Amino acid sequence: MLDITLNYLCPLEYYVIDPNHSFCSQPYPGVIDQQITSFERAHILQMHNHERRLVHGTNIQKMYWNDDLAEIALRYARGCIFDHDKSIQRNLPKIPLSTGQNLAMGYENWTQAIQGWIEEKEHYFYGYPSAGIVTHYTQMIWHSTALVGCAATICPPYGPYTIPWPFYICNYITGQLNSDFHRPYDQGSHDQSLHDCQGKVCLYNGTLDLNTCECKCSTYASGSQCERLNCSILPPCLYYSSSSCIAVNVPLECPRLCGLCDRYEVLKNVYGENNLAPNMLTVKPTMTTTTISSIKKKSRGRKLKNKLRNRYLKRNLTTKMNFFSVSTRIISKKILRTTATTTTILPVPIKNDSSHLSLCSYLLHIIVIIIIIIIDNFF
C-alpha cells in the first residue's frame, strides 16, 4: 500500500512521481513569463524536425508538441534556477519514460537559442567521441524523441546576474541515453524521411513499429499504447536493486521494484482505468490567420516594451559585450554541462558584478518591470 504524506500544493499524480516534481515548484519573485505563440511553437518544431531530416536516419520519428511537457518546463523556468532538475522530476504522469532537457539563457529569441544547440554539430561525428559538447544537438536528433514542450521566462537580477536574463527550456520524451548519445539514430541513405506516428509513444517496455505506428506490448502491459499495467504477472526482477532505478531501462524492466505499480494505482484513481493512454497531438501546429492578426495588433506594444527593456538592459551592462547579441560561437566556448548526458546546459557568459544595487537603482528595477507588464497586458 502506497504511503503518501500529502503536499497540498502538489497534485497527487505529480507528487507520487516525486515529492519535488517540477510541476510543483515555486516561482522566483519578479519572474516574467514569455508566452509562446502558436507561430513560435510551429517554428520550434520546424527547427527540430529540419535537423532530424538532415541526418537521414532510418529510425527517426517526427517530433510533435506536447502541452504538458511545456507546462512543466514553464513551471521550472519560473524558478530561475539555471541548472537541470532530475529526469524523474519532469516526468509526465501518463508517460513514465525518460525525459530529456535542453537549457539556454541570454538569447534574444527562440531561433537564436535553438541555433546555439544546432551549432554543436560542428563537433559531432557519428559513432565517435566528440571534440566538444554535443548533447544538446544529439537530444534534438535522438531517434525515439517524439514529443517536445518548451517554455521561456525573463528572470530578474539576483546573485551573479546583474541584469534580467531570458531563460529557455525544452523538455523531450524520450530523453537520450547517456551510453548511446554518440549514435542517436541508425544511419541510412539520403532519401530517408521521418516516421510520422503523430507523436505516439509506447509505455512499460513496449516497442513502436515505425512502419505501422502500432505498439507491441510486453507480456505485462496492454492497450493501444501499452498503458494498462498488470503488476500481478510481473516477472521477478533478479538482477537489480532499488538503487538501480536511476537508470532509464530498469523501471521499464522492473516496474514494481521502481514504484511504477504504486504510481499506476494512483493514476487509475485520478484519471480512471479507461483514460490512461497519453494524449496525442494529431494536428501539427500552424500559424493561423487569427494568430497573424493578433501578432500585428500587439506589434506596437511589443516594440515599446522591447525599447524599454533594451534601455533598461543597456544601463545595467557592466561590459561592452551586448547581453542579447553574443555570438553563438563565443557561447560554444563557454559551455557547461551536468553529470547526466540526457540533460545539458548552454549558458551565455556573463561578467559578474559584486557591487550591490543602490536603493534608487533597485526601485528603478521594480518600476521598469511594472511598466513592461502593464504595456504587455494593455496591448
Q: Report the alpha-carbon distance of residue 165 to residue 313 in Å, rounded.
A: 9
pLDDT at 142 over 80: yes
Does a structural domain hold residue 213? no
Does a structural domain hold residue 82? yes
Mean pLDDT computed over 58-78:
97
Contact (CB, 8 A) for 218 and 206 = yes
Q: Which residue has the higher pLDDT, 78 or 355?
A: 78
H helices of 179-287, where? 250-253, 260-271
pLDDT at 66 over 60: yes
Q: Report the alpha-carbon distance of residue 52 to residue 198 in Å, rounded.
A: 15
Does a structural domain hold residue 171? yes
pLDDT at 176 over 50: yes
Q: What is the pLDDT of residue 88?
A: 93
- The set of cell numbers assigned to 254 is 522492473
DSSP 302-337: HHHHHHHHHHHHHHH--SSS-TT---HHHHHTT--B
Q: Give the pLDDT band (50/70/90) at residue 127.
A: confident
Q: Which residue has the higher pLDDT, 192 or 264?
A: 264
pTM of the model: 0.74
If one counts the domains in the chain, the total is 1
Does a structural domain hold residue 109? yes
Q: Looking up cell 513560435, which residue turns up?
A: 40
pLDDT at 313 over 50: no
Mean pLDDT computed over 122-142:
89
Q: Give the pLDDT band (50/70/90) at residue 53.
A: very high
- The set of cell numbers assigned to 167 is 531563460
The CATH number for 108's domain is 3.40.33.10
Does a structural domain hold residue 160? yes
Does a structural domain hold residue 19? yes
Q: What is the mean pLDDT of the chain?
A: 79
Min mean pLDDT across 209-218, 228-237, 364-373 is at: 364-373
- The set of cell numbers assigned to 200 is 505516439
CA trace torsion 195, 124, 107, 151 (10° rounding)? 30
pLDDT at 324 over 80: no
Does a structural domain hold residue 30? yes
- Structural domain that includes position 104: 12-199
pLDDT at 369 over 90: no
Q: Would you tell me how many other CB atoms lie within 10 Å of the CB of residue 197?
A: 21
| CB neighbour class for 294 (10 Å; exposed up to 12, middle 13-18, buried from 19) | middle
Does a structural domain hold residue 169? yes
Mean pLDDT computed over 284-293:
39
